[in-house]
Structure 1
Amino acid sequence: QQINQIRAFIDKKCSIITSIPGSATALDDAIDAAAKAGIPFITAAGSVTSPNAINVDSNYARWGYDMMTAIGKAQPDGASILLVEGIAGHPIVVQERQGADKALAENPKLKISRNVNGNWTANVTKTVVLQAIATNPAPIDAVWTTGSESRVVAEAFAEAGRPAPLITGSITGDALGYWKANPDKYRFEGHAVLPHWTAQTLFRVGERMLDGQKPKLNTLLIPIPPVHTADLGAWYKDCMTTDAVSIFPIPPKDPMPEEWLDAYFSNPAPTKGWDYSKVPDACAK
């Protein structure tokens, strides 16, 4: 379907084509056809192998490494860690785990107590975490996750009567709602993998390319904004409750300042029309 859509956009002589690709390789011929027609092709939240595409993505191995390193910093005397991964074999899961394993190799005081897959799904994650807790009476100091299910992880530990662990992952509106209602039961060190800034960066790159700016590489790895427990108050908004699973927090400040984005281009200039102060509030309707 994506191939047909791309070719239809080529026939319509679109100025630019953007995509969240469903495959790393299947779209390559269509992307090459767009290039022959002089149409830039930009991806987000997934990369393709065609050299004619510009991939706007992030370094997920670095994310996994940073989250595990954060656990080590918070637990300098060592920690027993529950790993909650996403869908087994998914490229992002593999990359995140590679980063985590590197951090574990650097800090022998960090020990893995159990490894489960929550499939990036709240009910599955809660079930496997409760099972892991029930079969592991020893203390669990931290939970390293690769998704957006930190709230249900915290709920599972609270329901089991276990001390609140340090949880990593991607911050969400429902997690912030849980933290606001239960500040003593939610400890977080992670990042914000969010649709807003992902889309914003995609379109800013596209706008610059239409303006004649040249990316230095065909894969642009955008830093994922960090989020610490001490910062949660700045991310929280009144509309965020434990049920706010479709509300995504907005970074308090631009996670990709213009001067950072300039470094990705050989002939940088400000993105036309870009003003982070005009980004809608997370609670906007």
Structure 2
Amino acid sequence: MVALAALFALVLTGCGGGGDQTDGEPTAGDDTEDPGTTDGDAGEGGDAGPFTIGVSNGFTGSEWRTQMLANIEAAFEEYEEQGLVDELIIESADVDVDGQIQQIRNLVNAGVDAIIINPNSPDALNAAFDEAAEAGVRIYAIDQAVTAESVTNVVIDQNEWAKISARWLAEQVGEGGRVVGVNGIAGHPANEARWSGATEVLEEAGVEIVTQANANWSQSEGATVMADLLAQYGDDIDGVWAQDGVAEGVLRALVDADRLDLVTTGEARAGYMRLWQEHDVDTIGVVNPPGVGVTALRIAMRELQGGQLDESQLTDGNTILLPMPDSVTNAELEEWLAEVEDQPDGYSVDVMLSDDEVATYFQ
């Protein structure tokens, strides 16, 4: 674990802000790094704590979300050992927008100092965000960006994330190729940003998108949706653009139907990579790190203690675009499989910024 943590630091050092592609390959990390925060002395305009942190998660049907929450809990425990935090309050349930608004209000009423939220909408939560900000609560949106100026977005560029695998797919099927898309949850900010990016790349490359369907970021639904698409379009398509939590289900459906002649994109999860190796397919796994929640927690802790974000590092005034990790390809598959050997199938290759790396976003 120590070696892996050191390798993480080497990979991410020098990435800086602005979402630049990393040099080299991120490794799979299953533990959080030492928070490395101050000794408890507050900076100008800050507080010495201890602080109460809230988390709002409006969707639970995903191993990615489970890993995200576990990462935050582990990092919080390290801050707790330093006496910098006293309570972590997690509101996590399958809720609609109104339900997530109630989650936010519950956290504010509980007296949290900061909220880390994986939002269900890019703009429908804005009024609740503004209420929380007026109450003195700092808010950080992770995984999916929101439009509220009262929120700091701590995200990868989901649009660009999708373009990486779409470019790869376009190269495989060529101009005139025909593909279908298997997406996550319709209307979710990340889902919409991803499909927009993939569509842009595929259409510019002259690839025809026959249709798309949503599988709610569920492996089982991904398999069902792909089986239905094969029944309807199987003889008329060349490939599949599948994103994130549905990709393993899509690949399993192709295996079961003996249709590995179709090219599909994938994800950097242990189960997908194992299936990939087992059937010797040519695919790509794009890294979407659940560790973004820990990165947001480290940013929150610095701000609560008086740190000032460097505005030159922000996009659109309130968005921190994190470095985009390199993708898994066939050339490195063996190496990646060794890194996740002891992890369950649902484990996502993970990256989280250390406190020193978070400090590069501050004045």
Q: Does 1:220 align with 2:317?
A: no
Equivalent residue, structure 1, for 2:297: 203
CA separation in 2, counterparts of 1:219 and 1:67? 23
CA separation in 1, counterparts of 2:129 and 2:237? 47
Equivalent residue, structure 2, for 1:43: 141
Question: Secondary structure of 1:174's match?
Answer: helix
Greater RCO, 1 or 2 (C-alpha within 8 Å, sep 6+) = 2
Question: Secondary structure of 1:214's match?
Answer: coil
* Cα distance change, pair 179–104 in 1 and its aligned pair in 2 (3 A): closer
Aligned pairs for 1:138-217 within 5 A: 138=235, 140-180=237-277, 182-184=278-280, 186-195=281-290, 197-211=291-305, 212-216=307-311, 217=317
CA separation in 1, counterparts of 2:131 and 2:212? 44
CA separation in 2, counterparts of 1:141 and 1:259? 46
Aligned partner of 1:56: which letter? V
CA separation in 2, counterparts of 1:146 and 1:38? 37
* Cα distance change, pair 229–166 in 1 and its aligned pair in 2 (3 A): farther
Aligned pairs for 1:79-98 within 5 A: 79-98=177-196
* Cα distance change, pair 250–190 in 1 and its aligned pair in 2 (3 A): closer
Equivalent residue, structure 2, for 1:4: 105
Equivalent residue, structure 2, for 1:274: none
CA separation in 1, counterparts of 2:128 and 2:183? 33
Match of 1:233 among 334, 343, 363: 334
* Cα distance change, pair 37–162 in 1 and its aligned pair in 2 (3 A): closer
CA separation in 1, counterparts of 2:354 and 2:238? 35
CA separation in 2, counterparts of 1:190 and 1:134? 26
Equivalent residue, structure 1, for 2:30: none
Equivalent residue, structure 2, for 1:111: 208
CA separation in 1, counterparts of 2:357 and 2:176? 35
Cα offsets for 1:204-248 (capped at 9, x unmatched): 2223323513142312222442332323323323335xxx44x41
Q: CA RMSD in A?
A: 3.0
CA separation in 1, counterparts of 2:265 and 2:285? 5
CA separation in 2, counterparts of 1:141 and 1:257? 42
Question: Secondary structure of 1:130's match?
Answer: helix
Contact 1:166 1:189 in 2 (8 A): no
Cα offsets for 1:43-101 (capped at 9, x unmatched): 22334443222121232222222221121234456533221122233332222221122
TM-score normalised by L of structure 1: 0.74
Tell me the percent identity. 27
Aligned partner of 2:141: which letter? T
* Cα distance change, pair 224–166 in 1 and its aligned pair in 2 (3 A): farther
- How far has the Cα of 1:201 moved from its partner? 1.5
Aligned pairs for 1:245-284 within 5 A: 245=345, 247-251=346-350, 254=351, 256=353, 261=358, 264-265=361-362, 267=363
Question: Secondary structure of 1:18's match?
Answer: strand
CA separation in 1, counterparts of 2:120 and 2:198? 26
How many equivalent residue pairs? Answer: 253
CA separation in 1, counterparts of 2:229 and 2:294? 38
CA separation in 1, counterparts of 2:299 and 2:292? 11
Question: Secondary structure of 1:148's match?
Answer: helix
CA separation in 2, counterparts of 1:36 and 1:30? 10
Equivalent residue, structure 1, for 2:115: 17
* Cα distance change, pair 204–234 in 1 and its aligned pair in 2 (3 A): farther
CA separation in 1, counterparts of 2:107 and 2:124? 12
Contact 1:166 1:187 in 2 (8 A): yes
Aligned partner of 1:191: which letter? V
Contact 2:182 2:246 in 1 (8 A): no
TM-score normalised by L of structure 2: 0.60
